[in-house]
């Protein structure tokens, strides 16, 4: 198998692609909500320590494996294993990463379709006259409308496919260098709007007032889990993006920028969402419903709510589509590599397969909602398996591989860092990342 011939044309394009992959819907609603529930800034401090101590080292490892292998995840893992005189069976970790990406993709694309649907709704009527009851009915009606769900799933998948169909530089890089700055600009604009419209003081208190009484093993575990999952490792995307990375780009510096940007977006999203919630007397603990059921009520009540709703769902659409791109790219690249297909043919087939499998996710919200898998509702199982089993298992195997099986000289050369920083990185991988991910995996399985 020939190494990938494409590289990012700029470090900025690479960073925007990685940040776009990492920043998804979970950053917009889940991180701020977990922060508020776990002691505000006390949780943020613990999270940042976990993000630097766990997220950065494993992200560096995944980018290094991709750049050293210069192939899709399975072949890259096999190539690095061969360099270290280890068994090519390590390619199985790459296949697990691809399975994880595909499992998440078939569910995530459906939710991305919801976002596009709500963007259209915002453009049409700005949620005028929406009440708590009508908002709930509107969302329930969408979940029960199979043709609409399929249509919007196709729209979300089609947008992402059009980007990766055009290639790495002309498609992904060109798109993210526009879309990610747009996302940051929209977030800053909405946060600025909240400064003058009200609710910001309550939101800042909710997110950043430290409550150290909530420091507990459970809170620390929540911070570790959030740091690991939100950055986007063990989903093949970062390893694939690393394969396109030129040798002169610093992996260590890039990893820090990606993690800090991912965290910054999540915190800024809290300053966008919660002022609206508090100013309008709504429940901040709405989870996914906060976006699709609670906020439309806030838009209906606030001055200029119609315009704000359009901007909000536009930024959500950017976050959703760039994440779908990151999930699709390694899968399309693997099809192209494995079967010697053109990128265009691989993308078309991937879209067809993903759409067919996404029908299972669509039906899990309506006709198949009573079907159980291993004693768990089908829709829940489709979320639990990749997130609580495949992801941590894949991350653990990557950490074990680079920490104990790859020759240190190969890792150090691949990372391009000095002896002292390398010793710190290797120590974190072996003695922090591995135990932390084991705890996440065991806890997830037990739960």
Read off the pLDDT band of 34 (50, 70, 90): confident
When mean pLDDT is compared across 107-121, 277-291, 331-345, the lowest value belongs to: 277-291
Which of 135-139, 190-194, 289-293, 427-431 has the weakest average pLDDT? Answer: 289-293
Sequential DSSP letters for 359-413:
HHHHHTTTTTTT-EETTEEHHHHHHHIIIIIIHHHHHHHHHHIIIIIS-HHHHHH
Give CA 239 to chain center in angstroms.
14
Q: ∠88-91-95 over CA atoms, to 5°?
A: 160
Q: Residue 111 in contact with residue 25, Cβ under 8 Å?
A: yes
pLDDT at 27: 85
Residue 2: pLDDT above 60? no
Task: Give the Cα separation of 220 and 189 in Å (integer).
Answer: 32
Cα–Cα distance, 6 to 8 (Å, whole number): 7
Residue with the two structure tokens 């190494």: 3
CATH architecture of 11-446: Orthogonal Bundle (1.10)
DSSP-derived secondary structure for 81-101: HHHTT--GGGHHHHHHHHHHH
CA–CA separation, 29 and 267 (whole Å): 10
Backbone angles phi, psi at 189, to 5 degrees: -65, -45
CA distance 351 to 342: 14
pLDDT at 444: 78
Q: With a threshold of 0.85, does the pTM exceed it?
A: yes
Mean pLDDT value across residues 265-271: 92
Closest to 244 measured CA to CA, from 2, 4, 1: 4
Whether 199 and 277 have beta carbons less than 8 Å apart is answered as yes
CA distance 50 to 256: 13
Asked if 409 and 415 count as a contact pair (C-beta separation under 8 A), the reply is no
- Which residues, other chains included, contact 337 with Cβ-Cβ below 8 Å and sequence gap of 6+? 1, 71, 72, 75
* pLDDT-based confidence at residue 206 (cuts at 50, 70, 90): confident
Q: Decide: helix, strand or coil at residue 24.
A: coil
- Domain residue extents for the chain: 11-446
């Amino acid at each position: 198998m020939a190494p990938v011939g494409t590289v990012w044309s700029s470090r900025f394009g690479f960073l925007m692609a990685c940040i776009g992959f990492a920043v998804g819907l979970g950053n917009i609603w889940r991180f701020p909500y977990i922060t508020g529930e776990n002691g505000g800034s006390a949780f943020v401090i613990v999270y940042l320590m976990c993000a630097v101590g766990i997220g950065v080292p494993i992200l560096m490892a995944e980018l290094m494996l991709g750049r050293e292998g210069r192939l899709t995840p399975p072949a890259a893992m096999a190539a690095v294993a061969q360099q270290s005189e280890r068994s090519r069976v390590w390619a199985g970790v790459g296949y697990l990463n691809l399975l994880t990406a595909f499992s998440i993709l078939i569910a995530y694309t459906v939710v991305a379709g919801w976002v596009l649907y709500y963007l259209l709704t915002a453009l049409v009527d700005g949620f005028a006259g929406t009440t708590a009851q009508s908002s709930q009915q509107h969302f329930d009606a969408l979940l029960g409308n199979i043709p609409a769900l399929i249509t919007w799933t196709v729209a979300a998948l089609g947008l992402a496919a059009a980007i990766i169909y055009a290639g790495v530089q002309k498609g992904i890089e060109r798109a993210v260098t526009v879309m990610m700055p747009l996302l940051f600009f929209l977030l800053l604009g909405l946060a600025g709007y909240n400064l003058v419209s009200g609710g910001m003081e309550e939101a800042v208190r909710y997110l950043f007032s430290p409550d150290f009484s909530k420091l507990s093993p459970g809170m620390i575990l929540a911070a570790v889990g959030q740091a690991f999952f939100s950055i986007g490792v063990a989903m093949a995307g970062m390893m694939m993006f690393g394969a396109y990375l030129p040798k002169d780009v610093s992996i260590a510096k890039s990893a820090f920028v990606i993690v800090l940007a991912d965290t910054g977006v999540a915190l800024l999203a809290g300053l966008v969402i919660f002022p609206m919630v508090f100013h309008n007397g709504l429940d901040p603990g709405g989870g996914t419903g906060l976006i699709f059921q609670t906020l439309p009520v806030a838009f209906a009540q606030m001055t200029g709510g119609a315009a704000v709703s359009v901007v909000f769902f536009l930024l959500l659409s950017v976050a959703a589509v760039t994440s779908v791109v990151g999930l699709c790219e390694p899968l399309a690249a693997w099809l192209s590599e494995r079967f010697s297909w053109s990128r265009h043919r691989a993308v078309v087939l991937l879209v067809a397969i993903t759409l067919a499998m996404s029908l299972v996710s669509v039906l899990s919200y309506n006709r198949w909602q009573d079907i159980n898998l291993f004693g768990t509702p089908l829709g829940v199982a489709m979320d639990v398996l990749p997130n609580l089993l495949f992801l941590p298992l894949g991350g653990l195997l990557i950490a074990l591989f680079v920490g104990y099986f790859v020759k240190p000289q190969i890792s150090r050369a691949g990372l391009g860092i000095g002896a002292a920083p390398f010793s710190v990185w290797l120590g974190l991988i072996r003695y922090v990342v591995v135990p932390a991910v084991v705890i996440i995996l065991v806890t997830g399985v037990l739960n």
